[in-house]
Chains A and B, each alone.
Chain A
Amino acid sequence: MGANLVNLNANPCKMCMPMGAVSAFYGIGMSMSILHGSQGCSTYIRRHMATHYNEPVDIASASLTEEGTVFGGAKNLMKGLENLLSLYHPKVIGIATTCLAETIGEDIDGIIRDFQEKHPDVTATFIPVSSPGYGGSQYEGFFRALHAIVRYVPMDTQSHEMINVITGHLSAADTRALKSLLDASGLDYVLLPDLSQNLDGIHSENYKRLPQHGTPLERISRMAGARMTLELAPLCPEEYSPGAYLRDTYGVPLLRLNLPVGLEDTDMFIATLESLGAIIPASVFEERGRHVDAMIDAHKYNAQCRAAIFGEPDITLGLTRACCENGVVPVVVATGSRCPALKESLGVTVAQAAEVQFCDGFDILDFADFTAIENALLARGANLMIGNSDGRRIEEHHHVPLLRYGFPIHDRVGGQRTRVLLYDGSLSLMESTANAMLQKTEETFREELHGKYYFLTEEAGKASSHGLEKAASVVSGGTMPEETSVPLSAAERTRTHPCFSCGACATSARLHLPVAPECNLSCNYCVRKYSCPNESRPGVTTAVLNPEQALERFLAVRQDMPNLTVVGIAGPGDSLANAEMTFRTLERIRQEDDNITFCMSTNGLALPEYVADMKRVGVSHATVTINAVDPVIGSQIYRYADYRGHRYHGETAAALLLANQLAGLRALTQAGIICKVNTVLLKGINEEHIPTVVATVRDLGAEMTNIMQLIPVKGSAFEHMPLVSNKELTDMRKRCEPTLKQMYHCHQCRADAVGLLNDDRSIEYRLPEITPIAAQEKSAPIARRIRIAVASKTGVTVDQHFGQADQFYIYESNGHDASFVETRSVSRYCKGMDDCGSKSGRMEGILCAVEDCAGVLALRIGDSPLHKLQKKGIRVFTQYERVEKAVNDAAKALCG
Chain B
Amino acid sequence: MTMDANAKVLERYNAKVFKNRKDHMLQVNHAEEQQISANTRSVPGIMTNRGCCYAGCKGVVLGPIKDMVLITHGPVGCGFYSWGTRRNKARAEGDDPNFIQYCFTTDMQESDIVFGGVKKLKQAIAEVMQLMQPKTIMIAATCPVGLIGDDIQSVATEAEQEYGIRCVAYSCEGYKGVSQSAGHHIANNGLMKRVIGTGDIEPATKYSVNILGEYNIGGDGWEQERILKKIGYEVLSVFTGDGAIERIASSHKANLNLVQCHRSINYIAEMMKTKYGVDWLKVNFIGLEGTVESLRHMAAYFGDPALIQRTEEVIAEELGEISDAMAACKARLQGKTAALFVGGSRSHHYQGLLKDIGISTVLAGYEFGHRDDYEGREVIPTIKDDADSKNIESITVEKDEKKYHAYLSQEQYEKLAATIPLEQYSGMIRDMDNGSYVVDDLNMYEADTFVELLKPDMFFSGIKDKYALQKAGALSRQLHCYDYSGPYAGFRGAVRFAQDVCMGYFTPAWHMVLPPWKTSATLQGTVGE
Interface residues of A (CB under 8 A from B): 1, 5-12, 14-19, 34, 37-41, 43-48, 50-51, 53-69, 76-77, 79-84, 86-87, 98-100, 102-104, 132-135, 137, 201, 203-207, 209, 369, 390, 393, 643-644, 646, 652, 655-656, 659-660
Contact = CB atoms under 8 A, between A and B. Distances in A.
A60 B45 contact: yes
B26 interface: no
B520 to A, nearest CB: 11
Interface stretch (B212-220, B467-475, B498-506): B467-475
A44, A67, A103, A201 pick with most chain B CB within 10 angstroms: A44
A96 to B, nearest CB: 12
Contacts of B173: 38
B85, B143, B388 pick with most chain A CB within 10 angstroms: B143
A87 B465 CA distance: 17
Q: Please name the 5 residue pairs, one residue from A and one from B, whose CB atoms are nearest each other, closest first.
A: A40-B52, A16-B77, A80-B45, A80-B44, A38-B174
A57 B467 CA distance: 9
A54 B467 contact: yes
B109 to A, nearest CB: 6
Given A44-B81, A87-B12, A133-B77, A56 B468 contact: yes
Given A15-B80, A99-B142, A64 B133 contact: no
A410 to B, nearest CB: 8
A9 B45 contact: no
B44 A100 contact: no
B177 A65 contact: yes
B277 interface: no
A231 to B, nearest CB: 25
Contact of B76 (A51, A67, A76, A133): A133
Contacts of A659: 126-127, 130
A39 B467 contact: no
B391 interface: yes
A134 B77 CA distance: 9
Given A12-B107, A50-B466, A83-B43, A7 B120 contact: yes
B46 A83 contact: yes
A134 B14 contact: no
Interface in B100-125: 101-110, 112-113, 120-121, 123-124
B418 interface: no
B464 A64 contact: no
A390 B101 CA distance: 11
Given A54-B467, A87-B12, A100-B147, A40 B44 contact: no
A11 B103 contact: yes
Interface residues of B, number: 88
Interface string B64-95: 00000001001111111111010000000000
B506 to A, nearest CB: 18
A9 B79 contact: yes
Interface in B260-316: none
Contacts of A51: 463
B445 A87 contact: yes
Given A39-B179, A56-B471, A133 B78 contact: yes
Contacts of A79: 16, 43-45
A393 B101 contact: yes
Interface of B: 12-14, 16-17, 41-55, 71, 74-83, 85, 101-110, 112-113, 120-121, 123-124, 126-131, 133, 142-144, 146-148, 163, 173-179, 387-388, 391, 444-445, 448, 462-468, 471-472, 513-516
Contacts of A69: 146-147, 175
Contacts of B465: 56
Contact of B131 (A1, A41, A137): A1
Given A41-B174, A47-B85, A55-B467, A82 B14 contact: yes
A41 B76 CA distance: 12
A134 B516 contact: no
A213 to B, nearest CB: 15
B110 A8 contact: no
23 contacts: A8-B105, A11-B102, A11-B103, A12-B76, A15-B81, A37-B175, A38-B173, A45-B77, A50-B463, A61-B42, A61-B44, A63-B42, A65-B175, A65-B388, A66-B176, A83-B43, A99-B75, A102-B113, A103-B148, A133-B76, A134-B108, A203-B471, A205-B516
Contacts of A54: 467
Nearest to A206: B516
Contacts of A104: 147
B178 to A, nearest CB: 6
Contacts of B107: 8-9, 12, 369
B482 to A, nearest CB: 14
B287 to A, nearest CB: 27
Contacts of B55: 40, 43-44
A19 B77 contact: yes
A69 B53 CA distance: 14
Given A9-B104, A16-B76, A134 B144 contact: yes
